[in-house]
């Protein structure tokens, strides 16, 4: 077998391709956590519709660096929609007009000549580090308050030794797809972290391994999200509509159900 050089791709006739888009970006620039921020307008040209939103921001940053300007700070890591690092408000919607992560949003969702507003997640528990990058460690502290199961580590046990009904494992898995990106908080009119916490409570609460700590988990995680300064849930549904993983409002009802049961059983949050 011979491996041919990929010459075919470069021989494609580009003249028939649609020309790239010219866009006006209004980007939130903020020098540091305590600095005052403002929207700054930039132009980018010849943006391919096949670029991801982050690649478009890379183009902007290269342009800014060449001009001797400070590049726009934004968070990102895997760029394949599974790590939860990226996320900005795009035209007033968390992760933009498609229900996906910012890295998986493509520029074909926009038209030539569009103006795009780009802002960081806004919530006091998510302070801006710089520009579009926010500190989401409040989520880590909610997880530390109860989003785990205590098991001895060692060799992985036989998977079939504890049976889990298919219905439960499916629902638990749906909730476990939460990547902790923070879009729920960003989209919520109350800046509530309820969907995030509810996804964790649902995911662990449906599994047999999650039962021993189930009551303490829910009271401590709810207490921690209040302590962090998130708002309260008013069941509006903006969170679920913005969630790149489509975590449902059902998880919130389940959290409330678990919390009521836990309080009745006498569980109280650790102070």
Partner 1 sequence: MFRVVTVTDQVQRRTPKQAKTSSVFKKIVMAVSGILMLLFLIAHMIGNLHVFQGAQSFNHYSEWLRTVGEPALPPRTLLTVIEIGLVVSVVAHMWAAISLWRQAKRARPQSYVTKKSVAQSYASRTMRWGGVIIALFIVYHILDLTFGVANPDGTDSTPYDRLVASFQNPAATIVYVVALILLGMHLRHGIWSATQTLGQSNRRRERTVNAFAIAFATLLIAGYLVVPAAVVFGLVD
Q: Which residue ranges make up the site for partner 1 (CB under 8 A)?
A: 26, 28, 32-34, 39, 65, 68-71, 73, 89, 91-93, 117, 119, 122-125, 127, 129-130, 133, 135, 189-192, 222-223, 225-238, 240-242, 248-250, 252-260, 263, 269
Closest approach of partner 1 to the CB of residue 109, in Å? 14
Region label for 204, one of left (φ > 0), alpha (ψ between -120 and 50) or beta (otherwise): alpha
Rounded-to-integer distance, Cα 146 and Cα 149, Å: 8
Least distance (Å) from partner 1 to the CB of residue 122? 6
For residue 100, count other CB atoms closer than 10 A to its CB. Answer: 19
Nearest to partner 1 of 65, 78 (CB atom): 65
Give the residue with the Cβ less far from partner 1, 82 or 236. 236
**Which two tokens mark 138?**
């409040």
CA dist., res. 235 & res. 93, Å (int): 18
Residue 196 and residue 182 in contact, taking contact as beta carbons nearer than 8 Å: yes
Q: How far is the CB of 5 from partner 1 (least distance, A)?
A: 36
Q: How far is the CB of 220 from partner 1 (least distance, A)?
A: 11
* CB nearer to partner 1: pick between 82 and 241: 241
CA angle 127, 133, 135 (to 5 degrees): 40
| Residue with Cβ nearer partner 1 (81 or 269) | 269
Nearer to partner 1, 33 or 165 (CB): 33
d(CA 27, CA 161): 53
């Amino acid at each position: 077998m011979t491996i041919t050089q990929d010459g075919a791709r470069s021989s494609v006739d580009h003249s028939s391709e649609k020309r790239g888009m010219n866009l006006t970006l209004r980007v939130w620039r903020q020098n540091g956590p305590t600095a005052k921020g403002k929207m700054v307008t930039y132009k980018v040209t010849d943006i391919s519709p096949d670029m991801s939103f982050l690649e478009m921001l890379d183009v902007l940053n290269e342009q800014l660096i060449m001009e001797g300007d400070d590049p726009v700070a934004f968070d990102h890591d895997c760029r394949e929609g599974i790590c939860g690092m990226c996320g900005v408000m795009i035209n007033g919607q968390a992760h933009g007009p498609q229900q996906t992560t910012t890295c998986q949003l493509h520029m074909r969702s926009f038209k030539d000549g569009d103006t795009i507003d780009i802002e960081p997640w806004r919530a006091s528990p998510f302070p801006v580090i710089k520009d579009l990058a926010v500190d989401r460690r409040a989520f880590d502290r909610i997880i530390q308050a109860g989003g785990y199961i205590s098991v001895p580590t060692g060799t992985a046990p036989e998977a079939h030794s504890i049976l889990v009904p298919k219905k439960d494992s499916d629902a638990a898995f749906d909730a476990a797809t939460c990547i902790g990106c923070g879009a729920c908080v960003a989209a919520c009119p109350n800046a509530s972290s309820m969907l995030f916490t509810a996804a964790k409570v649902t995911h662990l609460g449906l599994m047999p391994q999650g039962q021993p700590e189930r009551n303490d988990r829910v009271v401590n995680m709810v207490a921690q999200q209040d302590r962090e300064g998130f708002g309260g849930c008013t069941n509006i549904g903006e969170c679920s509509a913005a969630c790149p993983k489509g975590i449902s409002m059902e998880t919130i009802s389940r959290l409330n159900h678990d919390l009521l049961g836990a309080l009745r059983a006498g569980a109280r949050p650790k102070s």
